[in-house]
Amino acid sequence: METIWPFPSDDGWHLHQGLEGMVFAISPCARLWTRFAPKPEERGQGTWTIGMDRVPFGPRAWEITFDATTPAELLRDVHTELLDLYLEDRHIEQDRLIEDATAPHEVYTPLLTRGWSHSVKTDGTQTFHPPEGLGGVRHQYATSGSDGPIWRAWGGYPSEPHWQARFSAGASTTLAAAFTASLISTEPLHRAVKQIPFHTRHHLYVAPAAAPQPPNRPTPANHAVGRTR
C-alpha cells in the first residue's frame, strides 16, 4: 500500500481500515478519497478507486477505477500526480481536480509518438493500440448522451484483458495524462515469471537487473533515476 499511496499522514491525510480488507484514505478537505477493495475471487481481484466529491461527503464529481491487477507502477504514478494536483490547488487556491483545462491530446499524443496506432469510429470514440497489440486506450471524445467512461485503458488482449482502468466524465485530464505517460515508460520493471500472464511473455524485452550501487556513491549525471511519473 505504501508503494502506491504517497499521501503524507502528518499533513492531515487519514488512512482507515474497513471490512473485508478494504482500505481507504481521505484528504484533509474530506472531498478527495481513494480506496482499495480486494475481491480475490473475481477476475480483476478487486478495485482501486479514486473519487472527488464536490463538497465533503457530498455528490460525486468524478471517479477513476482500476482493477487490482493493474500494474502497481501505473497506480503509484497516478496517485503521485493526484497528490501533486491536490497540493497545487491548496497552495494557489485553484480547483484543477474539478476544472482541469488540460487538453485531451496531452493524454494520447505521447502514445502516437511511441508508434501506437489510431482509429476513429462514428460513435464518438477513438482508440489507440500499441504496436504489439497487447492493450489499448479508448477516448470517448463525443460525450453527448453517453454515461460511459471518458477514458478507458486495458492491458492484454481486448477480449480477455488482464486489467482495466476507467476515467469517468469530469475526471482530471492531467491524471489521465499521467497514466499514459506511465503506461509507455521504458523504465525496466522487476517481475517474477509467475507475475506475467503466459500469453504475453513472448512480447517482453528482458534486461539483466542492475547491480546495486554502493551507498553514498554519486549518481552519474547522464543516468536517469526512477520513472518520470
Question: For residue 106, what pLDDT is reported?
Answer: 97
The pair phi, psi for residue 113, each rounded to 5°, is -70, -15
Question: For residue 62, what pLDDT is reported?
Answer: 96
Partners of 119 in beta bridges:
127
The pTM (predicted TM-score) of the whole model is 0.82
Question: For residue 223, what pLDDT is reported?
Answer: 32
Question: For residue 187, what pLDDT is reported?
Answer: 78
Question: For residue 138, what pLDDT is reported?
Answer: 97
Question: For residue 196, what pLDDT is reported?
Answer: 65
Which among 6, 7, 4, 39 has a CA at the least distance from the CA of 21?
39
The domains of the chain are located at 9-186
Residue 228, CB half-sphere, CA atoms under 13 Å: how many? 11
| Cell numbers at 133, concatenated | 497489440
Q: At what angle do helices 105-113 and 173-183 cross, to 10 degrees?
A: 10
Q: Beta strands of the chain (E only): which ranges?
A: 14-17, 23-26, 32-38, 46-53, 60-67, 117-120, 125-129, 136-140, 151-157, 160-167
Per run of 10 residues, the mean pLDDT along the chain (length 229 residues) is 85 90 93 94 91 92 96 95 91 81 96 96 94 93 79 92 95 96 83 62 62 50 34
